[in-house]
Amino acid sequence: MSEGIDVGSPDEIEEGTARVIEPEESGFDEPIAVFHTETGCFFALDDTCTHEEASLAEGWIEGDAVECPLHSSSFDLRTGRVLCLPATQSARTHKVEVTGGRVVLYPGVDAEDAARVSEQAAE
- Residue 27 has phi, psi (to 5 degrees) of 75, 0
Q: Of the ranges 1-9, 24-32, 56-64, 109-117, which one interacts with another protein (CB under 8 A)? A: 56-64
Q: Give, for 98, the enclosing helix (H) or strand (E).
A: strand 93-99
- Using CB under 8 A, which of 60, 63, 116, 117 touches another protein? 60
CB of 15 to another protein, least distance (A): 9
- Binders of another protein in range 79-108 (CB under 8 A): 84-86, 88
Q: Residue 64, interface with another protein (CB under 8 A)?
A: no
Asked if 112 and 4 count as a contact pair (C-beta separation under 8 A), the reply is no
CB of 16 to another protein, least distance (A): 5
Q: CB within 8 A of 26, min separation 6: which ones?
A: 5, 32, 105, 107
Rounded CA gap, 60 and 120, in Å? 34
Q: Where are the beta strands (DSSP E) in 16-76?
A: 17-21, 32-36, 42-46, 60-62, 65-67, 74-76
- Using CB under 8 A, which of 16, 23, 27, 63 touches another protein? 16
- Using CB under 8 A, which of 25, 30, 58, 110 touches another protein? 58
CB of 83 to another protein, least distance (A): 10
Q: List contacts with another protein (CB under 8 A).
A: 16-17, 52, 58-60, 67, 69-72, 84-86, 88
